[in-house]
Structure 1
């Protein structure tokens, strides 16, 4: 199964397979997606979740503030549905 991810405001879309993170799928699709550490520390890949649902492997990487702000750590996140994400530095 795969899910459709749309990145705003760039209006870029790509598909993510069950076993891959959002970041891995974006890079596979040739999208210039900001990233550095791939461990949820640098926050380069963090997007704001506009719609849909994501899941993480344990331990849960999100703080309460991250959850309130709807932040998605794309290097660690797996989609649980189609998603709309916002990242201001990704351009089409």
Structure 2
């Protein structure tokens, strides 16, 4: 199963395959996606979740504040539906 991810405001779309993180799929698709540590520490890949749902492997990396702000750590997140994410520094 795969899911479609759209990054706003650039309106870039790509497909995430089963078992693939959002960041891995974006890089595979040739999108210049900000990233550094791939461990959920540096926050350069964090997007705001506009629609859809993601899951994380345990331990859950999000704090309560992250959840309230709808932050998505794309290096660790696996989509469970089609997504619309917002990242201000990704351009088409």
TM-score bucket of the superposed structures, by smaller chain: over 0.9
Q: Deviations over 1:12-41 (max 9, x none)?
A: 000001110000000000000000000000
The residue aligned with 1:91 is 91
d(CA) in 1 for partners of 2:53, 2:18:
13
Equivalences for 1:1-92 in 2 at 5 Å?
A: 1-92=1-92
Q: TM-score, normalised by structure 2?
A: 1.00
User: Which runs of no fewer than 5 residues in structure 1 stay unpaired?
Assistant: none
Give the number of equivalent residue pairs: 92
**Cα deviations across residues 35-82 of structure 1 (Å, max 9, x unaligned)?**
000000000000000000000000000000000000000000000000
Instruction: Report the aligned-residue RMSD.
Output: 0.2
Q: Structure 2: 5+ residue runs without aligned partners? A: none
Query: Equivalent residue of 1:24, what SS?
Result: helix
> TM (normalized to structure 1)?
1.00
